[in-house]
């Protein structure tokens, strides 16, 4: 189902504004080529900008990032469901809120530095594109749940891999 261009039904004439704003992450999903990468980059840049602006302690940063990732996931599921239905596709490529959520999960325990943000971005994109076995199976879940949870799982794999890299680099 990954970013399916298969038209399952005709597109809706009316669009639900809030769902399209969230689902495309305020238009990042409309950028071509590689809309998912744009969504991931936007999330990483927003996270990095917030860390540079507020300078949170490591524990506070981890909790803030976890809260953001969970919130984005919970809001993203209905938004992705609505946009997919209105597009008439199972997993439209313009929905990138799933990449935003997955990227935030990948960043949860990263130090607030552009090099670690880049590492988390790279690892997340690898797991999101590769979709190893269990990650791919999550795509089969219905509607927005499947759209979102495979990227959450890819983000968690990126987080685990990033922590191993941090351990080896120190």
pTM: 0.93
Q: What tens digit of pLDDT does each residue of 13-55 get?
A: 899 999 999 999 999 999 999 999 999 999 999 999 999 999 9
- Looking at residue 32, what is its pLDDT? 95
- Looking at residue 127, what is its pLDDT? 98
- Looking at residue 55, what is its pLDDT? 96
Residue 3 has pLDDT above 70, yes or no: no
Instruction: For the chain, give every domain's residue range.
Output: 17-169
Round to whole Å and give the CA distance between 129 and 24.
18
- Looking at residue 169, what is its pLDDT? 85
């Amino acid at each position: 189902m990954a970013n399916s261009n298969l038209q399952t039904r005709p597109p809706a004439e009316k669009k639900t504004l809030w769902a399209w704003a969230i689902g495309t992450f305020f238009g990042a999903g409309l950028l071509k080529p590689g809309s998912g990468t744009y969504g991931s980059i936007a999330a990483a840049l927003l996270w990095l900008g917030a860390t540079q602006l507020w300078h949170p302690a490591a524990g506070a940063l981890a909790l803030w990032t976890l809260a953001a990732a969970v919130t984005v996931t919970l809001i993203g599921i209905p938004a992705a469901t609505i946009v997919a239905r209105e597009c008439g596709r199972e997993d439209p490529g313009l929905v990138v809120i799933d990449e935003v959520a997955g990227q935030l999960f990948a960043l949860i325990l990263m130090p607030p530095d552009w090099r670690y943000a880049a590492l988390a971005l790279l690892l997340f994109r690898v797991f999101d594109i590769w979709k190893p076995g269990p990650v791919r199976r999550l795509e089969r879940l219905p509607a927005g749940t499947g759209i979102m949870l495979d990227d959450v799982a890819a983000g968690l794999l990126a987080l685990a891999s990033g922590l191993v890299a941090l351990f080896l680099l120190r």
